[in-house]
Structure 1
């Protein structure tokens, strides 16, 4: 009796389970098809500056409500375009990641409009021990001799000064990849600068030695410094200023007219008659 009751309960449970499956499948069939679209994504990892080929791309399903702005749905529209950002496998390709149409691949595709690329020779010290990698920002420091004033007869004074700030590193040596984080000691660094900055950098390179100072990529503050000299480094007091009388212009004295008065001649006294008087041993003179 107990076995029959258990079997009956199992049969009822199975029936309810089958009924739930049937109802769920009917409900799913009545739902509208999922809203998805096919867009072009990367079929492999692609570095910036490379020209796209069909074997680097593929179509993939992407939800319509989260389509990237500027996404493409046709692989042929991207053939020959140049990337200005590195992409990974499965990343969607959008217009924002591409250089302008007609751009030739290579470093020139990475340069922002209105800017220039200039290469600076570096070593393991100047190049911040190889940590100045593509995508990083650096400051340029020049060490040179400070010009003397014409009146200054002392020796030339050395000075180190930051001449350019927040400069983007486009490439190190002949590589423009930005995915590496390991330091690489190279002999040249290519920087992105404005035309005016390019002139200043070329002048700084010719008048002194250059150094790179690696900076935080999200730090926008400018370094307002007066430069470092031997005197400021050693905290030596400034030379005393010359006396004001030495540098002050001499006063011009106006000519003074001297008036010389002739001496006033006293009138001659009338002549008087005088006689000598002998009084004992004393002799005196009396005039009339």
Structure 2
């Protein structure tokens, strides 16, 4: 009797397990049937790259989590230009592409209404190579105050003239994923037309320096610029004392009328020691 009950329980347990397996299999198949395919990068892509079919591939993607702007057909991506770097296997989205008809290269990543302008830098001006594509910098110019000569260091001034300027490229490299500093001789900046005019004037009237700033700091600094007086805590720099004017003496030529008298400037002489010598009734002053 007891053995019959045990066999019955085993049979019921086996049937329940078989039913669970069948149910789970059907659920998995149903989920798989709802999956789709989307386009992803087949290799690492740099910004400005023009897409071709060999750069892309289709992969399975759960239907319930397809990102907005994904592409379900590779033909729709042919000839499009990416405006940001893409890693291998990363979905290609409409938000990461330049408008249709855009040609490849750096011009594809310049924002609407902006311009790309290149300035010459060195290892110091370029913040030791840490001004990389995607970073923001301020532009500072060192020049002379209005009306001063270029050689007049006492009237020099340093002033930040442009703030939060995006670095588009360093030399011919526009990859924004790198973090390794690169010392180059040219940096391309994204500026508005008005900022381009200021930048061109600044580099013609003085020397430029790039000032690296925090990526997420949008605040603008309002400064008056640094001069030699402000650098020395407000102590005014005294101008050099003018040289004393040489004393004039009158020379009268012998044998000539006294009317035409020529006046010449006496050359400055060093102070000398003088003594009076009396010879009989004659007194003579001798200096040496």
Matched, 1:28 2:24: yes
Cα displacement (A) at 1:17:
6.3
Match of residue 79 from structure 1? 78
Residues 227, 28 of structure 1: alpha-carbon distance in 2 compared, 3 angstrom cutoff: same
Distance in 2, Cα, partners of 1:16 & 1:25: 14
Distance in 2, Cα, partners of 1:13 & 1:208: 94
Cα displacement (A) at 1:21:
3.7
SS in 2 for 1:120: strand
SS in 1 for 2:30: coil
Deviations 1:4-34 (Å, cap 9, x if unpaired)?
A: x9xx98x889756643441122213554711
Distance in 2, Cα, partners of 1:139 & 1:168: 9
Match of residue 211 from structure 1? 209
- Ranges in structure 1 where 5+ consecutive residues have no aligned partner: 240-288
Q: TM-score, normalised by structure 1?
A: 0.73
Q: Is the 8 A contact 2:44 2:88 kept in 1?
A: yes
Distance in 1, Cα, partners of 2:125 & 2:110: 23
Q: Is the 8 A contact 2:154 2:228 kept in 1?
A: no
Distance in 2, Cα, partners of 1:13 & 1:46: 61
Residues 141, 27 of structure 1: alpha-carbon distance in 2 compared, 3 angstrom cutoff: same
SS in 2 for 1:76: helix
Q: Is the 8 A contact 1:49 1:82 kept in 2?
A: yes
Match of residue 221 from structure 2? 223
Over aligned residues, Cα RMSD in angstroms? Answer: 2.4
Q: Is the 8 A contact 1:147 1:156 kept in 2?
A: no
SS in 2 for 1:33: helix
> Which residue, out of 200, 209, 233, partners 1:235?
233
Cα displacement (A) at 1:235:
0.8
Match of residue 197 from structure 1? 195
Deviations 1:141-161 (Å, cap 9, x if unpaired)?
A: 000001149xxxx98610000
- Ranges in structure 2 where 5+ consecutive residues have no aligned partner: 238-288
SS in 1 for 2:169: strand
Deviations 1:149-207 (Å, cap 9, x if unpaired)?
A: 9xxxx986100000000000000000111111010100100000000000000000000
Q: Is the 8 A contact 1:41 1:91 kept in 2?
A: yes
Q: TM-score, normalised by structure 2?
A: 0.73
Distance in 1, Cα, partners of 2:109 & 2:132: 15
Residues 178, 17 of structure 1: alpha-carbon distance in 2 compared, 3 angstrom cutoff: farther
Match of residue 125 from structure 2? 126
Residues 156, 230 of structure 1: alpha-carbon distance in 2 compared, 3 angstrom cutoff: closer
- Report the number of matched residues: 229
Residues 13, 162 of structure 1: alpha-carbon distance in 2 compared, 3 angstrom cutoff: farther
Distance in 2, Cα, partners of 1:194 & 1:223: 19
Distance in 2, Cα, partners of 1:72 & 1:155: 61
